Amino acid sequence: MSGWDRARPSGTRTGRGSNSTMNERIPSSRTVRLGRVQPQAPGFRTIYCNDRDANLPVRFRGNSISTTKYNFFTFLPKGLFEQFRRVANLYFLTISILSTTPISPVSPITNVLPLSLVLLVSLIKEAFEDWKRFQNDMAINNNPVDVLQDQRWESIPWKKLQVGDIVRIKQDGFFPADLLFLAGTNPDGVCYIETANLDGETNLKIRKAVEKTWDYLTPEKASEFKGEVQCEQPNNSLYTFTGNLVVQKQTLPLTPNQILLRGCSLRNTEYIVAVVIFTGHETKVMMNTMNVPSKRSTLERKLDKLILTLFGTLFGMCLIGAIGSGVFIDRKYFYLGLHEDVESQFDPNKPFVVAILTMFTLITLYSTIIPISLYVSIEMIKFIQCAQFINKDLHMYHSETNTPALARTSNLNEELGQVEYIFSDKTGTLTRNLMEFFKCSIGGEVYGTGVTEIERGVAERNGIRLADGKKSANMVQEKGFNFDDGRLMRGAWRNEPNSDLCKEFFRCLAICHTVLPEGDESPEKITYQAASPDEAALVTAAKNFGFFFYRRTPTMIFVRESHVEKMGKIEDVSYEILNVLEFNSTRKRQSVVCRYPDGRLVLYCKGADTVIYERLAIGNDDLKKVTRDHLEQFGSSGLRTLCLAYRDLSPNMYESWNEKFIQAKSSLRDREKKLDEVAELIEQDLVLIGCTAIEDKLQEGVPTCIETLARAGIKIWVLTGDKMETAINIAYACNLINNEMKQFIISSETDAIREIENKGDQVEIARFIKEEVKKELKRCLEEAQSYFHTVSGPKLALVIDGKCLMYALDPTLRVMLLNLSLNCCSVVCCRVSPLQKAQVTSLVKKGARKITLSIGDGANDVSMIQAAHVGIGISGQEGMQAVMASDFAIAQFRFLTDLLLVHGRWSYLRLCKVVTYFFYKNLTFTLTQFWFTFQTGFSGQRFYDDWFQSLYNVIFTALPVIIVGLFDKDVSASLSKKYPEIYRAGIRNVFFEWRVVAVWAFFSFYQSLVFFYFVTTSSSSPHNSSGKMFGLWDVSTMAFSSVVVTVNLRLLLMCNSITRWHYISVGGSVLAWFLFIFIYSGIMTPYDRQENVYFVIYVLMSTFYFYLTIILIPVVALLGDFIYQGVQRWFFPYDYQIVQEIHRHEREGRSRTELLEVANELSPDEARSYAISQLPREISKHTGFAFDSPGYESFFAAQLGVYAPQKAWDVARRASMKSKPKLGLKK
């Protein structure tokens, strides 16, 4: 049924306002127009076909396309401009400029170097991405196409194609440009095209050439074609085209029916010949490409706030320093040379000016508080996360369609870890949009032995394991047909007691439909083109029962019937179709009046049970009752049902009716309505045959996935265009709703509403429905709240239909709707338009300020996908529209589990760590500088050497944090899925609350004090037995060493898992610092640097003092963090920590070998990609089982005399954490 509905979504919508405009905007073929239709350029273009010279003066654009952002020359200016649109970069540019002025305490290198490094990395990334786009373009541009040259087809690349060229496209080929269809191999000048790339529709569309041009098929003939096309200027309206073809002095009008758009492909036609009319960027599809609105993650937005806070802190620090400097400056410090004319920054006569200028000085000095490399690091981390982890995760690889997951944007990884609401489309997302004839009931007898997934799920929940029904050998497996019952197949129905009814049943299936057969007229090769997959499934079923519908003409239906007269006999029967009473959503039924070859007149009718039952003839109540039972039984197994009925007509009666019908059909006013009325007259006294049950197949693993997500605290809303019953059905099937839930149903299909609607006063209808909706909402809300106050009330579910939703979304009712729906565990919205989908999404996004995710597969989901925080497209199917608009593309709904619970959660965790760590390390570093300012008379003297400061962020502390951002994981992937509840931490955002930031800030405050005062105090005496003293630069080098060592060790302390990469990067960073300082203090550069640190490190490292300090300071500094973490872990453990503990004795290795076994079953190609995907992870040893410091577990164990096994990782870890306290009791 849903397919029928979808084919005519506008049928029942009589509403006004936004809905009615929707109806106008959306053509009945359920497409969404892309972008705004641009105003038509004045004039028209004239194209001389097959005549390049004649077209030359007009200079049409070539067919090559370019989607790159930059070209060779614009890259630098444009790329830089893009970079400086970031506030942080602009800030550093300002600082860099400031630092070239004399008020700067640091040489420009301090700021210019990190800035340029950051810019360099960003630009390289941009260049890389653009290069990929360029290659992509090149690949497209170099596709070959056959073009007519000198009476021959020459293959040339797409980009060489010009307006006016005559091209030949072969079957399944893509159209290289917008073409005018001239001729094709099909006899009647038609060709079939697939427009999946444009609108996601997979059914074929027919294009028909102008009759005049049908002959120009061969190259010889085509080369004679000389025509002139006058048409509109290029525009982006996909469904309109106006123009004329002037050929042989004749002007032929052109319509969209002759236009083949770029991006579509040719089907079921050997080849066609066409003229190029729009090329390259002027094609309609290219003019429709719009920039996908770029999304920023909420974490990043919070990060902005954090940065603003840092700016505030910076300002405060500078203000303190500036006031200090104004107060300090005094002529009494004669050694400062303040007695003569002094530059204004130090002029003791103008303390105010001094303060202002010092302010700028300090801003420059403290610029390190803003983590310049944060954004670029985050970008890199996310990029690698996407490219290496998400895209290469075999858990999200769908081998049937050969589709891996695809992260189309790398901005939103961590958003995946915080999703609270999922908005899901139904068809194609939850279900496969694959209708299979599954069961039927004929004459009170149920046929079909299959078990639906829903039944299986229910059974499993009740503890019964259903054996997978053995599929009998002779079972026909075909798309649309999944039925097995020996009593009906292969003519066996003849032996059934109600074989006559069976015959009627099959004939009804074979005749009463609007399906078009296509392809060879043999049962194997034929394909059915139907408005909905249901119909196709029914016709396919008839075929398999031996009633093969193979040909349709406007008046006849040809059916090859087997076993009718006697077993094994096959005959072709033609039925004359007299009238077709079409389906629409008010009638909910479809009838065909046909005449048998023997003159029998029959009306076959199929439709929803309610409407059919109303029109059945009196009597035969047993059958009706039994069939109704069957209908309910089918319905509860999640099947979609239709009732079939027939009626024999007498010729007289038919004739008189037919007159009325013809009259109604030819009436000009209210034709639809009149036709309906006439149909009513004949659709009476029907004889019930039985009913069909079609399975709307769920995607694989959907119910489990939904259950897992629900446990993770994610609420799932289903937004579908289907009707309410279907939607509820599927919701049941997916575990979204069950019988224990309290359901609130707000529907417009009530008697009261219908009554008003029948009166037809639109204003009144609107007012009335609004009132009704309001009443309903209020009632539900009150009820919901009463449940909410009780402790263990039932879970709530809301079902609402599109029409009610339209009114409920009204600003006055919106709040109520939101309150109600947020209290519900699941919400089902049915019969909603694409726009409403988006509205509901933004309602939650904006109204509830929760992170939303939309998932869908079709063009009608695009708006929803773009409206949500995260949009996910189902890929691997034919339509690409949803994928093109999405942020992530996965092949199956069930991959959401992996995407959210594993990758999303990890990304979120990692990003939080990265951000807080960046915040911490820069704050710590800058605060030491700040403390120093107090000791320098607030002059803004720098504590560290320029190079120390500039390389701190980009070299000495850069890599480890990136490693954490890539490899840190609290619990393994399988545990993440086993304990979906730990995902809730992300929803509550516990790892990036202000509280967390405050804790980090507190510790960085503490640590900076330790760094500064420990170093300065301990260095105030002679440094070794030679009695010499340290100077400023010696102290600062000492302090900087401690900072680098501590900050890097702090990173290890916060890791959940420590891999070889951690050691390498942390060790490498510390080593890099020492290497740097060794070289740096060993050389004298010739130009105007003051050789402050010359030889410093050599002297430093020759003292005991150095080693004692470098051991002491990290320990003291980290003691605070250590105690905090220990206490937190012991008394207020996070969920993930508990999970770590539960599984502390499991080695990651086991699951890895399991995975490898999986890998062995894969094809070599897959295995290779698997190996690639495993590369980084293979090395990752998950170690964070018990405590952040392994000492703990063993420590307590030792206390209790319990032997704690030494683990390899324990030893390795201990080695890396020599300076950490509390490892001792291990001995």
Partner 1 sequence: MLVSIIFIPIGVASLYASRDVVEIIDRYETDCLPENSRSNKDQKVQYIQGPGNKTCSRTIRVPKHMKKPIYVYYQLDNFYQNHRRYVKSRSDEQLRKNSSASDVDACKPEDNGVNGLPIVPCGLIAWSLFNDTYTFSRNSQKLVVNKKGISWKSDREHKFGKDVYPKNFQNGTLRGGKLLDSSIPLSEQEDLIVWMRTAALPTFRKLYGKIEEDLQPNDVIQVILENNYNTYSFSGKKKLVLSTTSWLGGKNDFLGIAYLTVGGLCFFLAVAFTVVYLVKPRQLGDPSYLSWNRNPGGH
Distance CA 963, CA 1058 (A): 10
Q: Which residue, 270 or 330, has its beta carbon nearer to partner 1?
A: 330
Tell me the closest approach of the beta carbon of residue 870 to partner 1, in angstroms: 21
Distance CA 769, CA 777 (A): 12
Determine whether the annotation assigns residue 965 to a binding site: no
Determine whether the annotation assigns residue 857 to a binding site: yes
Report the run of H or E that residue 835 belongs to, with start and end: helix 834-842
Q: Which residue, 80 or 1112, has its beta carbon nearer to partner 1?
A: 1112
Tell me the closest approach of the beta carbon of residue 1071 to partner 1, in angstroms: 23
Tell me the closest approach of the beta carbon of residue 819 to partner 1, in angstroms: 17
Q: Would you call 1203 exposed, middle or buried from its count of C-beta atoms within 10 A (0-12, 13-18, 19+)?
A: exposed
Distance CA 1024, CA 145 (A): 82
Distance CA 872, CA 600 (A): 54
From residue 936, how far is each of 354, 949, 1018 by CA, in Å? 15, 18, 18
Determine whether the annotation assigns residue 199 to a binding site: no
Determine whether the annotation assigns residue 425 to a binding site: yes
Tell me the closest approach of the beta carbon of residue 778 to partner 1, in angstroms: 25
Q: How many helices (H) and strands (E) in the chain?
A: 45, 35
Distance CA 967, CA 1062 (A): 9
Distance CA 706, CA 730 (A): 12
Determine whether the annotation assigns residue 1103 to a binding site: no
Determine whether the annotation assigns residue 137 to a binding site: no
Determine whether the annotation assigns residue 861 to a binding site: yes
Catalytic residue among 5, 146, 165, 425: 425
Tell me the closest approach of the beta carbon of residue 16 to partner 1, in angstroms: 39
Determine whether the annotation assigns residue 1067 to a binding site: no
Tell me the closest approach of the beta carbon of residue 483 to partner 1, in angstroms: 42
Question: Does residue 729 contact residue 641 with C-beta atoms inside 8 Å?
Answer: no
Determine whether the annotation assigns residue 71 to a binding site: no
Q: Which residue, 701 or 1126, has its beta carbon nearer to partner 1?
A: 1126
HEC states along 307-343?
HHHHHHHHHHHHHHHHHHHHHHCCCCCHHHCCCCCCC
Question: Does residue 229 contact residue 275 with C-beta atoms inside 8 Å?
Answer: yes
Question: Does residue 417 contact residue 298 with C-beta atoms inside 8 Å?
Answer: no
Q: How far is CA 519 from the centre of its chain?
A: 37
Q: Which residue, 320 or 813, has its beta carbon nearer to partner 1?
A: 320
Q: Which residue, 170 or 1150, has its beta carbon nearer to partner 1?
A: 1150
Which DSSP string do the residues of 11-62 spell out, in sequence order? SS----HHHHHHHHHS-TTT----SPPPPPPSSEEEEETT-HHHHGGG----
Question: Does residue 5 contact residue 721 with C-beta atoms inside 8 Å?
Answer: yes
Determine whether the annotation assigns residue 1220 to a binding site: no
Instruction: Supply φ then ψ for residue 220, to 5 degrees.
Output: -65, -45
Determine whether the annotation assigns residue 795 to a binding site: no
Q: Which residue, 467 or 791, has its beta carbon nearer to partner 1?
A: 791
Determine whether the annotation assigns residue 606 to a binding site: yes
Distance CA 626, CA 629 (A): 5
Between helices 351-365 and 298-328, what is the axis angle to 10°? 140
Reduced to 3 DSSP states, what percent helix, strand and coil does the chain have, rounded to the nearest 5? 50, 15, 35
Determine whether the annotation assigns residue 640 to a binding site: yes
Tell me the closest approach of the beta carbon of residue 1086 to partner 1, in angstroms: 9
Confirm whether 425 is a catalytic residue. yes
Distance CA 87, CA 93 (A): 10
Q: Which residue, 1072 or 1186, has its beta carbon nearer to partner 1?
A: 1186
Q: Would you call 763 exposed, middle or buried from its count of C-beta atoms within 10 A (0-12, 13-18, 19+)?
A: exposed
Under DSSP, is residue 554 helix (H, G, I), strand (E, B) or coil? coil
Q: For strand 516-518 and strand 589-595, is the pairing parallel, antiparallel, or unpaired? A: unpaired
Q: Which residue, 736 or 1155, has its beta carbon nearer to partner 1?
A: 736
Tell me the closest approach of the beta carbon of residue 322 to partner 1, in angstroms: 13
Task: Give the full edge-to-edge strand order of the sheet including 152-157.
Answer: 152-157, 144-149, 166-170, 271-278, 178-184, 259-260
Q: Which residue, 145 or 365, has its beta carbon nearer to partner 1?
A: 365
Q: For strand 547-552 and strand 556-562, is the pairing parallel, antiparallel, or unpaired? A: antiparallel
Q: Which residue, 994 or 1098, has its beta carbon nearer to partner 1?
A: 1098
Q: Which residue, 887 or 945, has its beta carbon nearer to partner 1?
A: 945
Under DSSP, is residue 180 helix (H, G, I), strand (E, B) or coil? strand
Q: Would you call 524 exposed, middle or buried from its count of C-beta atoms within 10 A (0-12, 13-18, 19+)?
A: exposed
Tell me the closest approach of the beta carbon of residue 520 to partner 1, in angstroms: 57
HEC states along 667-716?
CCCCHHHHHHHHHHHHCCCEEEEEEEEEEEEECCCHHHHHHHHHHCCCEE
> Would you tell me how many other CB atoms lie within 10 Å of the CB of residue 264?
22
Tell me the closest approach of the beta carbon of residue 1143 to partner 1, in angstroms: 7
Q: Which residue, 1120 or 1176, has its beta carbon nearer to partner 1?
A: 1120
Tell me the closest approach of the beta carbon of residue 1217 to partner 1, in angstroms: 10
Tell me the closest approach of the beta carbon of residue 453 to partner 1, in angstroms: 27
Q: Would you call 467 exposed, middle or buried from its count of C-beta atoms within 10 A (0-12, 13-18, 19+)?
A: exposed
Question: Does residue 481 contact residue 541 with C-beta atoms inside 8 Å?
Answer: yes
Q: What are the catalytic residues?
A: 425
Which residues carry a binding-site annotation for Mg(2+)? 425, 427, 857, 861
Which residues carry a binding-site annotation for ATP? 425-427, 535, 583, 606, 640, 720-722, 831, 837, 860-861
Which residues carry a binding-site annotation? 425-427, 535, 583, 606, 640, 720-722, 831, 837, 857, 860-861
